[in-house]
Amino acid sequence: MSDAYEQPMKTVHVELGERRYPIYIAAGLLARNDLFPAHIQGRQVMVVTNETVGPLYLEAVAERLQVYQCESLILPDGEQYKNLAELNKIFDALLTRRFARDCTLVALGGGVIGDMTGFAAACYQRGVPFIQVPTTLLAMVDSSVGGKTGINHPQGKNMIGAFHQPRAVLIDTDTLATLDDRQLRAGIAEVIKYGLIRDEAFFSWLDANIEELLGRDPAALAYAIERSCLNKAEVVAADEREGGVRALLNLGHTFGHAIEAALGYRDWLHGEAVAAGMCMAARLSRRMGWLDVETLARIEGLIKRAELPLYAPPRLGAAALREFMAVDKKVKAGQVRLVLLRSIGEALMTADYAQGQLEAVLDESLSS
């Protein structure tokens, strides 16, 4: 990596008019006292975290918030806990500690904590502010930005939720030092997604620098996070509630969410399922005649070099995946709409594929 990528704190804005908010990106943000106060309106702050992240970073965040009535709640760690029972613990804590309508919630953790805390903020007293402090790469580049919040249901991932934008996103890249390698790779899957759907130059950069990302090169990680957030912010500003272009951010997700649901939200991480799902989408795009053999090989090659899965777990079976795909949020008039690729950097959502082509992709992806 060259020094060209080494920068001080970066600020990316999500342009939503009066609800415009910043994404701060830098090492050492959790040691700064000046970022939280600008985005907290009342005197009560509830920090929601989990059993893994809490022991690492809760004390540092609480120290930044000591001028407020700062309370905390520690939830269990894992996608299988992204449910109504755990969500209710947040409401219980807020009500028991008599938090008022001008309180602020802080989500300290990965995507599960961010989604659940954001959903709680959307619902509590019909909506209170919250701040995202993502500590996983996947949350930094995807789930913390854009206001999608929610919980899972046994029949489908993220089927219960709300759009509720944060007041700010604080990305301290130092927190990646405690992220295990598997979680890091899962986050890289979402980074690759941006290159595939709308940023061919970024995909080429990733192709040239994937080993630096896997090796945790600080400059490479900072650049990848900033570029991903810029892409996400532009899409959200253009289509906040997923009425059009924002749906393209779901490349690989219809397949991936089906994998996660079929596994009971265990065994595979979200990014791993998305990686396999992106490969499945690329194979279907190839069968549609949009991608040539060399382009498909390039996509699969980068995902393989990122040490991510190219195929779904064979034990699931095509019938199980079809069942869960049928309850995807992008289903319209009974048709499963999929995000596919016309080329690297150009995606579209369509239901205009032959069922036989989809069946062939599912069979191929489950037999390898």
Residues annotated as catalytic are 126, 148, 190, 232, 242, 246, 250, 253, 257, 270
**Cα torsion angle, 119, 160, 21, 126, sign:** negative
d(CA 47, CA 278): 34
The 8-class DSSP code of residue 159 comes to: E
- Asked if residue 214 lies in contact with residue 307, where contact means CB atoms within 8 angstroms, the answer is yes
Residue 332: both structure tokens together: 């319209």
d(CA 173, CA 137): 9
The H or E element containing residue 232 is helix 218-238
In the block, residue with structure tokens 């079929």: 262
d(CA 8, CA 51): 31
List the strands of the sheet with 21-26, edge to edge. 10-14, 21-26, 168-172, 130-134, 104-109, 44-50, 69-75
Residue 217: both structure tokens together: 């090169």
Residue 249: both structure tokens together: 């951010």
The amino acid at 64: R
Q: Using DSSP, state whether 29 is helix, strand or coil.
A: helix
Measuring CA to CA, how many Å separate 340 from each of 150, 198, 238, 251, 277? 25, 12, 20, 7, 11
d(CA 6, CA 30): 19
The closest alpha carbon to 134, from 182, 174, 80, belongs to 174
